[in-house]
Amino acid sequence: MEKDQEIKNLAKEIEAKEQVLKQEGEPIEEKEIVKEVLKEKIENYLETKPETPPAIKPEQPSYSKKEPLPTAPLIDEKLAETGEIKELIDLALEKGLKTAIKQAEKSNNPYLIDQLHDLLAGPYYETLKKKKLI
């Protein structure tokens, strides 16, 4: 799907979601609605894509109960300005959401995929506002 058409469809979905939330009496900021719609689109894409066999994973290191498990740092909007997440955001804006999701999947990093919808909401929101679609 062409990127501009994807953005127009996204605007329609945002408008529909906004109407539903208004009927339910739940006022939510437009940017939050964008985030919610993007999350749904990403989840729908991941659920409908064909299953691929799991890759053989190398043995995972074992940790004793005394050692804390390693944790991924929280990604915030400042971190979105650099690194892999920025590349994914730029890719989504240039070539579309599905292309960015496919690239994120190649990383085999579920955390990165999860953060994509949160951090993509801001740039998509600005794009929609500039094009006067919301």
| 21-63 confidence digits (pLDDT tens) | 888 887 778 888 888 888 888 888 888 766 555 555 555 555 4
Whether pLDDT at 94 is above 50: yes
Does any domain span residue 41?
yes
Does any domain span residue 58?
no
What gap in Å lies between CA 92 and CA 71, rounded to an integer?
27
pTM: 0.60
Q: Are 61 and 2 in contact (CB under 8 A)?
A: no
Does any domain span residue 65?
no
What gap in Å lies between CA 36 and CA 14, rounded to an integer?
9
Cα 64–chain centre separation: 34
Provide the number of structural domains found in the chain. Answer: 1
Over residues 103-112, mean pLDDT: 84
Whether pLDDT at 74 is above 80: no
Q: Which domain holds residue 23?
A: 3-51+73-130
Write down the pLDDT at residue 80.
Answer: 53
Does any domain span residue 66?
no
Q: Are 117 and 88 in contact (CB under 8 A)?
A: no
Q: Are 127 and 94 in contact (CB under 8 A)?
A: no
